[in-house]
Chains A and B, each alone.
Chain A
Amino acid sequence: MSAPASLERPASRHALLHSPGWTGALVWLVAAAAFVLLWQSGPGLAAWAFDYPRAWQIPAVRWIGAAMKWLVNDARLGPVTFTEVTRFVAALLDVPYRIALSLLSTGFLSGQGSNAVQIVPPLSWIGVTATMMLLGLSAGGPGLAALVGLCFGFLAVFGQWDSAMVTLASVVVAVPIGVLGGLLLGIAAYRWPAFERCLVPVLDLMQTIPVFAYLVPILFLFGFGPTAAVVATVIYAMPPMTRVTVLALRGVPPELRDLGRMIGCTRRQMTWRVMIPSARDSLMVGVNQVIMLSLNMVIIASMIGAGGLGFDVLAALRRLDIGAGLEAGMAIVALAIALDRLSQAYAAQAGKAPAAGQGGGFAAGHPYVAAVAVLVATSAAGLLLPAVQSYPEALKVSTGSFFSEAVRWINVNFFDALEAVKNALLLNVLVPFKRLLAGLPWPGVVALLALAGYRLGGVRLAVFVGVLAFLIAATGQWEKAMVTVYLCGISVVIASLIGIPIGILATERVGLWRWVQVVIDTLQTLPSFVYLMPAVMLFRVGDFTAIIAVVAYAITPAIRYTALGLQKVDPRIIEAGRAAGCTPWQILTRIKLRLALPELLLGLNQTIMFALSMLVITALVGTRDLGQEVYIALTKADTGRGLVAGLAVAFIAMIADRLISAGAARQRARLGLD
């Protein structure tokens, strides 16, 4: 029985933790040997190690299912039931949502449903576009105003306006809640370290459990409709804001804090007058992420009654209208880019203090006055001229069947070539790797992971990683988890192989970065459904198509963090390298990439997170992994089953995250970056 031996190893080699060089290698060698022995001795000797016995399983599905049922039906907070509390929250959320929706889309109505009569029309398309452009002008100058105008113009010209405004209304409600909630949680975590220790795992779960897993309980608690969609969006989009807040507050220079103390600030003044304003730049990064992630949720939100662009994408692709799907998808991208660039400009402007009145005349100096004036003027004009109120039908443009024809052309002419490439990859790489992972004994994998945790971060990390990995097996998810690891693993490798060189190239050539940025923003916000269906047409359903979708999404952090790391390398060190006679290649490999290693590892971490978050989508093209388990549970409204599979995904993410973070911390220490 070699398994127990390898399980015990980490504890018995306590003294070896910081031993350098050959002893470290020896530990790994012995562990690997034990692992191979267990693996090869095979199912004959220890069948339980290959297929977790049903009798030992923790009935987590039943427990969680029962707990959820109790929460929805019987839980009470004093005199009121828990459901009544959540329903009350939903009613509160509904108020700002109705106002936003009335302003942007439906107009103010009297009555309900189809008998309602419009009293005041919604803001006109010209009014909204002009207001956004004015904000752009004041925050970032004429260039930004033009970009924002282009984005909103796109919505009108391609006939996406109505749906886009419905989507915008829910984003406009979800983003402030996400930002404010994230900010408050972040401040609390910064003040009370004990709270932070409890909060971090919760944030990890919020970010990594697939949304489908908690959709059903949310529907029961918050009711069916746009408010439930807003709640789901906030849960998904808030964590980065909290994380960024904690980091930003820690980053406030101690001198400032001392100054605040010297002039006698109260605790409240200290937080709101000193800390938050000086951390504003970093906080805006969080705001930006909340916006991006909220727009990411548009498709899923449309499944539970939010409507808007997400619904259009789904409906178009169900009738295989690739062009219409792409247009609606690009409308989401246009909204994302406009909102993102606006928020970034406001962050930059806040950093530069009195930037207002930098030219551009009255409108740039007094954007809010001008905006109100424009809104009033266009609304009045809209009553007289229908073309001002809503974009004229006759001037709308569509790509029509162009994209469907393009895919058809590729399909008819290149299918065989693509099929050959796909088959070669499938038969030589994907299938063997999948078989390899499926055949590994779970106690061996758990032990190896724990050992890695021990070497990188000590006993605590070893226990953490080991317990999480064991729980995946103990809840009966091991087999599906291995398929998940296989899909994500291969996707992450491919994404890194493509993304890191692009990141390097983009930093070496200055002009290129702007374009790369547009491409990765597009990839991050374009609903993957849009390119998934053409991919199915060219590659059939199955793992290969799933991997394409995952890579397309997960490549963005690989590029982004590579570029970030390389840009941060101290130019003096590069200069020194050049003076010492290094070739450009040597500068890149020996200096830049080495110094950027912590960021590269962070990029890898995020690539894995992004890949895991695409799992549910891959289930839509027929993979058999945890994502599919979550999806099946959703369709059967089986809350327990969905949450257990969702937690297994979260555990995989947390294991990868903790190991890589520990590795990055060690690297930073070795390079003297801390």
Chain B
Amino acid sequence: MPAARDHSSQRGSAMFSRTYIMGGVLGALTLSAACFVTPGIAQESADPIKLTLHDWTGQLITTELMGEVLKKAGYSVEYVQADYLAQFAGLENGDLHVAMEMWETTGRDAMDASIATGKVENFGPTGMKAKEEWWYPAYMKEKCPGLPNWEALKEAACAEAFATAETAPKGRYLGGPVTWGGFDDERVEALDLPYEVIHAGTDAALFAELESAYQRQAPILLWIYAPHWAPAKYQGEWVEFPEYTKECYTDPAWGSNPDALYDCGKPFGEIWKVGWAGVKDKWPGAYAAIKAFTVDNDEMGQMITRVDLEGKTVSEVVGEWMTANEGRWSEWIKK
């Protein structure tokens, strides 16, 4: 042991002396360089940080915001197109590094399973909240005046208004893909709603049906989530169910139906940032910046609208945000 300590102290002093000499010679230069290059980054990996892109606009914006901020801090950034759930395979083995939007409401199971492997880490909330609930276009209020209160849905006239040939006399509620979970079948049962739950296969199908119905001003009742362009494009409201609490999903006695779970609305969940567990060691500065990143629903909603409805590109919108919020993002990358 003493030998080892000797050795290391020797190496330490050699390094020190070399730095000292270099510092002496290049003193002025080093001093001026230090003003521009944050010392932390000099020790970090120069490899590109890979951020995943999915196929919805909000996520593209969030990711590009983060990417631009990291670029400002001097990191090399690469965007990789990946499937929302299939990406965990890449995050676990370090092929991918950061996923900016993992929704509590739809990605929780996959995220928990992945974090349990120890190779993926939760980087904290993005600040955005996922809202998911039953939704109807504003023109349906004429046919079912008691809305948005959920008890109006129970009236036979309302159910009839939302019915189609296949479901009549029950109403038709278009739920999300089965992979999203959401307990709508159970909710209908627990609250004794005269509706049949039809599951869309993808969210593209979900909005295709909404677009179709909206064009014809036809009845529709479906699962909508935010932040998304749909609530901005279509006039409408969320049904107001009894507010979600944890007990509602775990304790049958809670709520109007004493024998059933899920007699309430859907949870209002965080949108998380997740990533490869190795980011912390490989790029500590970037890790801190990613953890610090936050935006809120209103900001995001506006940006999504500018892209999807006003036809701007994602990069333009991100650029505008960067100029307008310089104070905020420079905080995130401050050492």
Contacts and interface: CB of A to CB of B under 8 A. Distances in A.
Interface stretch (A128-136, A200-208, A306-314, A492-500): A306-314
Contacts of A111: 76
Given A216-B86, A412-B216, A225 B165 contact: no
Interface string B193-228: 000001111111101110110011010000000000
Contact of B55 (A314, A320, A423, A533): A314
Interface stretch (B87-95, B128-136, B243-251): B87-95
A314 B199 CA distance: 20
B71 A311 contact: no
A635 B88 CA distance: 10
B159 to A, nearest CB: 18
Interface in A75-127: 111-116
On chain B, which size bracket covers the interface? 35 or more
Contacts of A426: 166
B49 interface: yes
Nearest to B49: A113
Interface stretch (B172-180, B257-265, B316-324): B172-180
Contacts of A215: 86
Interface in B136-155: none
Nearest to A535: B208
A618 B75 CA distance: 42
Contacts of A225: 80, 90, 95
B78 interface: yes
Contacts of A216: 86, 89
Interface stretch (A189-197, A285-293, A364-372, A621-629): A621-629
Contact of B202 (A220, A621, A637): A621
A485 interface: no
B199 A224 contact: no
Contacts of B218: 415
B90 A224 contact: yes
B205 A305 contact: no
On chain A, which size bracket covers the interface? 35 or more
A224 B80 contact: yes
Contacts of B204: 317-318, 320, 529, 533, 536, 620
Interface stretch (A333-341, A347-355, A538-546, A555-563): A538-546
Given A216-B89, A408-B215, A114 B208 contact: no
B109 A112 contact: no
Given A113-B76, A303-B82, A320 B211 contact: yes
A537 interface: yes
A533 B71 CA distance: 37
Given A311-B55, A541-B198, A622-B200, A112 B207 contact: no
A622 B229 contact: no
A318 B81 CA distance: 15
A114 B199 CA distance: 41
Contacts of A529: 204
Interface in A400-419: 408, 411-412, 415, 419
Interface of B: 46-50, 55-57, 67, 71, 75-78, 80-83, 85-90, 92-93, 95-96, 109-110, 113-114, 164-166, 174, 177-179, 198-205, 207-209, 211-212, 215-216, 218, 229, 308
Closest 4 CB pairs of A and B: A113-B48, A224-B90, A113-B76, A219-B89
Interface of A: 111-116, 215-216, 219-220, 223-225, 302-307, 311, 314-315, 317-320, 408, 411-412, 415, 419, 423, 426-427, 529, 532-534, 536-538, 540-542, 618-623, 628, 631-632, 634-637
21 contacts: A112-B76, A113-B49, A114-B71, A116-B76, A219-B86, A219-B89, A224-B93, A317-B204, A318-B203, A319-B57, A412-B215, A415-B216, A536-B204, A537-B211, A537-B212, A540-B164, A541-B198, A542-B198, A632-B178, A636-B179, A637-B113
Given A304-B83, A408-B215, A620-B205, 5 more contacts: A112-B47, A302-B81, A304-B86, A305-B80, A318-B204
